[in-house]
Structure 1
Amino acid sequence: MDKQAQAVDAEERPVTITRGPSWAVIGIFLLLLVAGLAYARAFMMPVVLAVLLTLVFGPVRRRMGRLGIAPGIAAFLIVGTLLGGGAVGVGSLAVPAADWIERAPTIGWEFRRKLYELRGATEGVRKAAEQLDKLTSGGDTGTEETGVQRVRVEQDSNAFSLAMSVPGILAQVVFTLVLLFFLLASGDMFYEKIVHVLPTFKNKRLAVRIAHDIERKLSRYLLTISTINAGLGIAVGLSMWWFEMPNPAIFGILAFLLNFVPYVGALFGVGLSFVVGIVSLDSLGEAIVPAIAYFALTSCEGQFITPYFVGRSLQLNTVVVFLCVTFFAWLWSVVGMLVATPLLVAVRTFCEHIPALEGLGHFLSARGNEAQDPADNGT
């Protein structure tokens, strides 16, 4: 009878089937996540940037704490240094950038004229000159006034749009710096809270090890890349001075800043040097040489210098880096391009400590890193 009762109970007991999330649910979640990040970009961009900067400067703040400097004072010094460096960079670029923006219509016309000359389209140059003469002379008064009024309205509207976007950009910069100050001034408070919340000692130790490893690798990455970019900027500035390009120091500063964006920044620098060379120099040969020099310097940096000094533990899959940079550029514009690579470094470091994500970590790493020992993360 007992066996029959047990059989009846087994038949009446509900069967619980546990199923993991389906691919459809995961796909919907990812789409909603991307849509949410795009919708909340004005809030998420400074938050993500402040968190990454906190991880980067966390070891610096901790080292200053060993010297007896309070977290609040250390945070003030770090944020003040960043603010001063940013002000110097903006001040160095403000006057040449304003001059280039003011001369943009003339530069565009001159660039098109020289391209027509290079193509041998003398008829196109003649027509362009006639149209320019009509706009600047006393020809058809009604047409001239209409054309000049149209150009003036377009320039004023562009300047007005740029002026209206400045307060929003400044607000995001201030929000980022204030949040960075509070995060640095809080010390290790968030790490202590994570340790307090996690249930087991093993999980607590793993969480602290992951956080410190991400801090160490991001700090090392930023310091190494900044040093390499500074050398690249000096080399680009000297080469532009050698080829008699206008404002060679500005090219050096732009090369330093643009090289924080992998691949896309170098391409933009090459294109900019070619356009300025076409406008400023006399012949096509003279205009191409600065662009070739810029491309050669960035190629040497990307193929030999950066892989040697960055180290294997920070090398990433080039295809994934390019896709990530372009994706975040579409999602968050310039800020997205800047945070894309540090985010990949943080994600890969996180994957190295989680066995379930080990495959994703190998996928994000560069070729030849698959056989690297996970315990050897500092090499």
Structure 2
Amino acid sequence: MDNAGSTQTKRNKKYSGSFPKIAQQTRLLNTLVIFAIIYTLYLAKSLLIPLCFSAFVALLLSPLVAFAKKFFVPPTISAAILIAILVAPFTFLALELAEPAERWMQSLPKIATEITEEIEEISNHIDGYTTEPPVETEPEDKKGSFFSWFSEDEQPPEPPPKADNANSVTDKIKQNGIDMGLTLFSNAPLMVAQILACFVLIFFLLVFGPSLFHVFIRDFPIVTDKRRALVLVGQIQHELSSYIVTISIINTCLGLATAAVFFYIGIEDALLWGALVALMNFVPYLGGIASCLVLLVVGLVQFGLTSSAFLPSGIFLALNIVESQLITPAVLGRSMQLNPLIIIIWIAITGWLWGVIGVLLAVPILMCVKIILENLGVFNHWIRLIESK
């Protein structure tokens, strides 16, 4: 008995010593899996971006297709009409704003030169106030110096020429503009292909997606709780559509209010800046900061380095504070509120992975993750972290 007991004790010690090693290997494996997923998301972004964007749009429009089907409207017709309704306003707005946007892009070098000259003028005034005046000394020839006979031919040394900062800034902006144009031109085929792929995917998801989804839920053994899966998808669809529609209406009203105030006070191309702030406001927090910086440049161009230059950005900042601190929380409610720091970190991650589209899709993806975790009842500590205020 003693031998058996000692043998069992040795086995327990052996297994207890191997548990930390197994736990370390598990953590290492989980870390490697996370890095593999991140690398896959980054590497396959040209494929995943159209898929994710199309899935979100189809998820929002599919209830309308189902509603039209009740009135015997074929899904192909209703899907085509919905896509046309979705594309038409953006196409009209792009055509209307193309001319002022092109004019501003062409005037960027001139704007940079004017701003640089204004800054140099202010810097020269500051230097004139801060630099002590030079002490006048009697020339050597008037003092009867031994070398005074050289003074008739000598000329005072010329000051070193100033660097032409305005031209250098203008050249840099022109070069950056050329590089940007070449980059856009080289990426244009891929962008056009992705846009067309998105339209095609949205159409086919609206027409054939519901039937495929029901077959997947009903027949695939991987879905164990079919009722729960249907409830999960329905909740994601409802909350996500409510969020996107509400945010779209709020941002549109913000853009219209900004354009109206700018037009009233005489800001040039008020509609362009209203559309810009409405689009950039889809990116929480960071979009408002970027809009303020752009409007500050607009004020500097139109009013110069005066106090009126802060008028466009100041007006937008006041409207944005009212929208973000009063209107949006009251309309969305607390259930859709997310921690601001978590949002900014998540935007940085998705922007690094997928660029501009990743920034626009960041909050909807985060909301989907939150809804899925809530319905599955897992990682409650992560849900509390996302919702914390």
Taking structure 2 as the reference length, the TM-score comes to 0.79
The equivalent of 2:323 in structure 1 is 301
Query: Which stretch of the first structure deviates more once superposed, 62-71 or 245-254?
Result: 62-71
Q: What does residue 102 of structure 2 align with?
A: 98
Q: Deviation digits for residues 2-54 of structure 1, max 9, x if unmatched?
A: xxxxxxxxx9xxx9x99788222222111111111111111111111111111
Partner of 1:337: 359
The amino acid that maps onto 1:253 is: A
Partner Cα distance (2:96, 2:31) in 1? 46
**CA shift digits 1:236-274 (9 cap, x unpaired):** 112222332210111111111111111111111100000
1:77 aligns with 2:81: yes
Q: How does 1:139-288 map to 2 (within 5 A)?
A: 156-199=178-221, 203-288=225-310
Cα distance in 2, alignment partners of residues 252 and 23 from structure 1: 49
2:225 aligns to what SS in structure 1? Answer: helix
Name 1:374's counterpart in structure 2: none
- Structure 1 segments unaligned to the other structure (5+ residues): 1-10, 136-146, 368-379
Give the number of the structure whose alpha-carbon radius of gyration is greater.
2
Go from structure 1 to structure 2 and tell me whether the alpha carbon gap of 1:249 and 1:154 turns closer, same or farther (over 3 Å shift). closer
**Residue 192 of structure 1: how far off its partner (Å):** 0.8
Structure 1 residues 70 and 99: alpha-carbon distance in aligned structure 2, compared to 1, 3 A threshold: same
1:49 partner amino acid = F
1:322-333 equivalence runs, <5 A: 322-333=344-355
Bigger drift between 237-246 and 215-224 goes to: 237-246
Partner of 2:334: 312
Shift in Å, 1:235: 1.2
CA distance in 2: counterparts of 1:207 and 1:47, whole angstroms = 21
- In 2, the alpha carbon distance for the partners of 1:241 and 1:128 equals 44
* Equivalent position SS for 1:67: coil
Instruction: Name the SS of the counterpart of 1:22 in structure 2.
Output: helix
Residue identity opposite 1:23 in structure 2: R
Taking the TM superposition and a 5 Å limit, the aligned residue runs for 1:43-58 are 43-58=47-62
Matched to 1:185, the amino acid is V
Query: Paired residue for 1:28?
Result: 32
Q: Structure 1 residues 258, 153: CA separation in 2 closer, same or farther (over 3 Å shift)?
A: closer
Name structure 2 gaps, 5 residues minimum: 1-10, 129-159
Q: Deviations 1:66-105 (Å, cap 9, x if unpaired)?
A: 2322222221112112221231232133212211221111
Asked whether the 8 Å contact 2:62–2:206 carries over to 1, the reply is: yes
Secondary structure of residue in 1 paired with 2:228: helix
Instruction: Pick one of 99, 112, 118 that aligns with 1:114.
Output: 118
- Paired residue type of 1:177: F
SS at match of 1:360: helix
- Paired with 2:124 and 2:249, the residues of 1 have a C-alpha distance of 45
- Identity rate, percent: 25
The more displaced of 212-221 and 91-100 is 91-100
The letter for the 2-side match of 1:324 is W
What's the offset of the Cα at 1:158? 4.1
Q: Deviations over 1:310-340 (max 9, x none)?
A: 1222211221111111211122111011100
The residue aligned with 2:370 is 348
RMSD across aligned C-alpha pairs, in angstroms? 3.3
